[in-house]
Amino acid sequence: MLNLHLRRWIILLALIAAFVILIAQESFWGNVLSSLFPDESEVLYPRAGLSTLVWEHIQLVIISSGLTILIGLPLGIWVTRESGKDFLPLVTDLTSFGQTFPPIAVLALAVPVMGFGREPTILALFLYGLLPVVRNTIAGLQHVPRDTLDAAYGMGMSRLQALFLIEFPLALPVIITGIRISVIINIGTATVGALFGAGGLGSPIVAGMSAQRNSAFILEGAVPAAILAILADQLFATIESMFAYSPSKQYQP
């Protein structure tokens, strides 16, 4: 079984490495895009190099997702404990309320509050990313079979020990799925953030969509953005597949 996982990881890491290397080769991109669009005078987005754009984009996602996990996980855990269970209905309703809320609208609403630049995008990504993480943390923890918990307490685990040794490991697959959903949506919304000055791979796309249509710019941003999202998705899928033991794997959120 280990071999199967090892193979997946190797393929994945190879693809990521290839992506990183390709990103760094600006001239390669320039040549490809020139040959595709011979009429365009400028083929590469002038404000920043491709690797910078990718890095900006990744930064946006990492910072916001990091905050989301830092706050979302404990929130989800607290709300399923004795001390927080009064707030469970409210939090549950808020997360499903948030599911209907369009993510780009969150971004648009953050701008009047925080102005121009990276901050509103990070705020919007953080807030919107909370929803799948909190929702899946709650769902994962609630799906731990009652008898398993009963056995844990009966054997002499304290509530904290049961949480760390039993509940959390069993909920982990579902939680990771939540993080995965959150990150993928964030990569997409961060792309739009470029509109509001956040930088990232959306910048060339937006620039290319403006009145002076420049398809080369668009591709320069869109293709890496798409690959980035797909790679991130596969990364999380591979992590998820490592949890083969747990019966809660059958649960599809």
Partner 1 sequence: MAARRDSVAITGSVLGLASLLFAWLTLKPNRLLSGTGLELWNSAGWDDTVIILVLWSVCLGLSFAGNKRLHAFVLGVLANVILIYTFVLAGHTAGNLLQTAPQFARISLGAGFWLTIAAAYILIHASRRRLQDVRIWQGFITWSALIAFVVMLLAGCFDDLAIMQEYNARSDRFEQEFFQHIRLFVQPVAIGTIIGVLLGIWAARSRIAEHPIFFTTNIVQTIPGLALLGLLLPILSALADDYPILEDWGIRGVGPAPAIIALTIYSLLPIVRNTFVALRQVDPAVINAGVGMGMSRFQVFYSIEVPLSAPLVLEGIRIAAIVAVGLAILAALIGGGGLGFFVMEGFNQGASDLILVGAIPIVVLAFVVDAAMRLAGRLATPKGIAAGES
Partner 2 sequence: MIRIENVTKRYSETIAVDDLSLEVDDGKVCVLIGPSGCGKTTTLRMINRLIEPTSGHIYIDGKETRQMKPEKLRRYIGYAIQSVGLFPHMTVAANIAVVPKLLHWKRQRISDRVEELLTLVGLDPTEYARKYPNQLSGGEAQRIGVARALAADPPVLLMDEPFGAVDPLTRERLQAQFARIQQDLKKTVILVTHDLDEAIRLADQIAIMNSGKLVQYDTPEIILSKPASKFVHDFVGTDRALKRLSRINIEGYIKPASSINVRTPIQEAVSSLGKLLYLWVVDDHEYLLGWLDRRSINKSTSVERSMVSTDLSDMAVRSGSTLREALSRMLGLGFKFVPVVDESGRLIGELSLKDIEAATSEFEK
Interaction site with partner 1 (CB under 8 A): 37, 86-87, 89-90, 93, 96, 99-105, 108-109, 111-112, 184, 187-192, 195-196, 201-202, 205-206, 208-209, 213, 215, 218-219, 221-223, 225-226, 229-230, 233
Q: Decide: is 166 part of the binding site for partner 2 (CB under 8 A).
A: yes
Q: Decide: is 73 part of the binding site for partner 2 (CB under 8 A).
A: no
User: From CA 42, how far away is CA 37, in angstroms rounded?
Assistant: 10
**Residue 218 identity (one-letter amino acid):** I
Q: Decide: is 161 part of the binding site for partner 2 (CB under 8 A).
A: yes
Among partner 1, partner 2, none, the one that 196 touches (CB under a kind-dependent 5 to 8 A) is partner 1
Among partner 2, partner 1, none, the one that 225 touches (CB under a kind-dependent 5 to 8 A) is partner 1
Vertex 66, ends 86 and 20: CA angle to 5°?
A: 150
| Among 34, 99, 158, 241, interactor with partner 2 by CB under 8 A | 158
Cβ-based nearer residue to partner 2, 149 or 184 = 149
Cβ-based nearer residue to partner 1, 173 or 204 = 204
Cβ-based nearer residue to partner 1, 16 or 206 = 206
Among partner 2, partner 1, none, the one that 105 touches (CB under a kind-dependent 5 to 8 A) is partner 1
106 and 68 in contact (C-beta within 8 Å)?
no
| 80's tokens | 């399923």
Cβ-based nearer residue to partner 2, 53 or 144 = 144
Vertex 125, ends 137 and 55: CA angle to 5°?
A: 115
| Among 98, 169, 188, 197, interactor with partner 2 by CB under 8 A | 169
Helices (H), the chain: 2-24, 26-36, 50-79, 88-100, 103-114, 118-142, 146-154, 159-162, 168-193, 202-209, 215-241
User: Would you call 119 exposed, middle or buried from its count of C-beta atoms within 10 A (0-12, 13-18, 19+)?
Assistant: middle
174 and 156 in contact (C-beta within 8 Å)?
no
Q: Interface residues with partner 2 (CB under 8 A)? A: 145, 147-158, 161, 165-166, 169-170, 243, 245-248
